Chain A
Amino acid sequence: MLIYLRKRIVSSALPLVVVIVGVFALARMTGNPAALYLPLNATQQMRDEFTARNGLDQPLLVQMADYFGGVLRLDFGQSLRTGQDAAAMALRAFPATLQLAATTMVLAVLLALVVGCWAALKPNGVADRISSFVSMAAASIPDFWLAIVGIWVFAITLGWLPTSGVSGAGAWVLPIATLLLRPFGVLVQIVRGSMVSALSEPYIKLARSRGAGELRVVTHHALRNAAAPALTVAGDLTVGLVNGAVVVETIFGWPGIGKLMIDSILQRDFAVLQAAVLLTAVAIFALNILIDMGYALLDARVRPVTARA
């Protein structure tokens, strides 16, 4: 397993570099931060000074070499906006996103497992039709629209929930409900599909012939076989959330990494943007490794051979 992990980490390094280079170059195409940080009537000399002070006058390659040198020393630069350490800002915003993503995904997966299994028990039955309609609707509703409607109905009209922020449990309801729908809808369909095919396998018949009851057949024999596709898709959806549920975080003023990235782009706060992207990229690579380990845990056939010895 350790050998496998080491391989994965080494093979993740190159994509990470590519991501940093890409963000680095693209961010600088948004324009010179001097235009945003200096007063409108600033002289050209002041602008040049600002640019030089922040090293933005150097050729792109030199800037990049400097940046990579810093990254290797774990120095990610300072925020233009606040003067704080960029990495510290990204790390401070990340837990809010992770909490939101984790809560959403745990709820989505649990709900989808229950509904998906329930639908799969009788393909084309009443339960299946209802769940198919609900999941299709859930997966298709645009989250920004739902977020705004949610704020309008529950926060403004009814006054039950706050419009934004992170204060109190009530503040979690709308963001989670908004984020939950799509993963839930998609996962119900995946779970339903893979459960239907797992339940028609001969080993399910054989389990029944040993006296395994319906509950045991579904939870013990079929579910673990049906879990791999759901894990793949759930992983993919989690990546989307960890990446910062940008739209939802912005609408609800959720102080997560998505909002931080949007703000940094708008403010041309390059160091913070780079730190935030690098952090999410690392988190996504870690998540992918976890998903791969999840497969191996579920199914011995995909375990790396070295792990067995």
Chain B
Amino acid sequence: MKTAAQSVLPGQSRAHEVVLSVRALAVDIRTHRGTVRAVNDVNFEARAGETLALLGESGCGKSMTAKALAGIMDPVCDLAGGEVVLNGTDLAALTPKERLKFAGPELGIVFQDALTALNPVYTVGTQLGEAFRIHRGLGAKEAKVQAIELMERVGIPEPESRVNSYPHQFSGGMRQRILIAMAVALNPRLLIADEPTTALDVTVQAQIMQLLRKLREEGQMAVVLITHDLAVVAEEADSVAVMYAGNVVECGPVSEVFSDPRHPYTKGLLESVPVHVGRGARLLSIAGSPPELHDIPAGCVYQSRCPLVQDICRSERPQLLPVTDRPVNDRPVDDRPVDLQDDADDYAGALLSRPGRAAACHFSEEINNV
């Protein structure tokens, strides 16, 4: 899954090239109780042929981030700042009209609920062909040919006859396939998948994830996968950004984040996965609930639920900083690799910079001692 195809088609991105770079993204929601910050200073990168997972619980701002990237926010939401650089263009700086050129050819999005995401009064063929009519100026007949091809690509049986069916005449899994086909119609560089399998049953989920993987590899797309499912992240994603109350609290390669979490929230999430729990044993969970958006505390966003909370957490918000390994003198001596035991400075320097690893916690070095 992590070996990307090496051949690069024209118009495609090179494997592992940064396709999307989100910097300091902030989204405000206007409510009756005043403006609240739903997404705050979010940074991440998505690379061609790789999947970045935005992981978090409901209301943490992950879907809002996705909508902000795609430029389809609700009317009460405003982009409050930041850059969304897709292949060299800052989408956040464009007018809605200018963005339309990018919607489809450069960026596609898949929603969670395929039934409401498909227009009930048009055939799936019409809807699949629309991108070709808008961006390539094709006529109705040519667009239909393209629609049939797309349906074949995402594995819908008998596309020639099904192309004239309406969304309600398809099963949930098939509808999700159609939605995915729509998003990848014009071979975008970036695919945003907003909980694409949440509404599906488990066997269909696996098929849909497999399809997304196949399409990602064929098109060298960068995929931003929004999910709350730790298992999906572990299986599908290359890197992960964990979100909490509108902030990214930890990010890095999935294998490292999951094996060595450096934020108490990530650690809490991982511990709440029921593995090796005996029948009748109590399942672990994170006590409390996330703060209300209009009541985000001054310091760390996670302070109310954090087992490590100190005074500094209540006064000062921790930045998302590169994770350094634990200071050498904190480690038991026999834990050091043999060849580095004589040169402690080199050892610390070698482990200081872990590529892509960052956490927003004052005590990220001490997490595993909890």
Contact = CB atoms under 8 A, between A and B. Distances in A.
A298 B72 contact: no
Given A212-B134, A300-B121, A301-B168, A206 B109 contact: yes
B111 A206 contact: yes
Contacts of B109: 206, 209
B240 to A, nearest CB: 24
Given A209-B109, A211-B101, A203 B131 contact: no
A209 B103 contact: yes
A221 interface: yes
B104 A208 contact: no
Chain A interface main SS type:
helix
B89 interface: no
B238 interface: no
Given A206-B109, A206-B182, A212 B120 contact: no
B100 A211 contact: yes
Contacts of A225: 119-121
Contacts, number: 78
Contacts of B325: none
Contacts of A92: none
A216 B135 CA distance: 13
B103 A298 contact: no
Contacts of B182: 206, 210
Nearest to A301: B168
Which residue of A201, A203, A298 has the most chain B CB atoms within 10 A of its CB atom? A203
B61 interface: no
A205 interface: yes
A224 interface: yes
A168 interface: no
A205 B68 CA distance: 12
Interface residues of B, number: 36
B121 A207 contact: no
A213 interface: yes
B117 A299 contact: no
Contacts of A202: 111, 113, 116-117
B118 interface: yes
Interface in B297-354: none
Interface in A168-226: 200-203, 205-213, 216, 221, 224-225
B119 A209 contact: no
Contacts of B123: 300
Interface in B115-155: 116-123, 130-131, 134-135
A232 to B, nearest CB: 16
B166 interface: yes
B111 A224 contact: no
B117 A301 contact: no
A211 B135 contact: yes
B261 interface: no
B121 A209 contact: no
Interface in A112-129: 122-123
A208 B107 CA distance: 11
B276 interface: no
B131 A211 contact: yes
Contacts of A201: 116
Given A211-B131, A301-B166, A206 B100 contact: no
Given A300-B166, A301-B166, A301-B168, A210 B119 contact: no
Contact of A210 (B103, B116, B166): B103
B158 to A, nearest CB: 16
Contacts of B104: 209-211
Nearest to B102: A211
A6 B57 CA distance: 55
B282 interface: no
A207 B122 CA distance: 12
A197 to B, nearest CB: 12
A230 to B, nearest CB: 14
A184 B116 CA distance: 31
Contact of A221 (B75, B103, B119): B119
B103 A211 contact: yes
Nearest to B135: A211
Contacts of B168: 300-301
Given A211-B100, A300-B166, A301-B166, A206 B117 contact: yes
A209 B72 contact: yes
B121 A224 contact: yes
B279 interface: no
B33 interface: no
B108 interface: yes
B32 interface: no
Interface string B66-84: 0100111011000000000
A213 B113 contact: no
A298 B121 contact: yes
A184 B122 CA distance: 28
Given A203-B116, A205-B111, A299-B120, 10 more contacts: A201-B116, A206-B109, A206-B179, A206-B182, A207-B130, A209-B70, A210-B104, A212-B100, A225-B120, A299-B121
30 contacts: A122-B75, A200-B74, A201-B116, A202-B117, A203-B117, A203-B118, A203-B119, A203-B120, A205-B72, A205-B117, A207-B119, A208-B72, A208-B100, A208-B103, A209-B70, A209-B71, A209-B72, A209-B107, A209-B108, A210-B103, A210-B131, A210-B134, A210-B185, A211-B100, A211-B104, A221-B119, A299-B121, A300-B121, A300-B123, A301-B120
Interface of A: 122-123, 200-203, 205-213, 216, 221, 224-225, 298-301
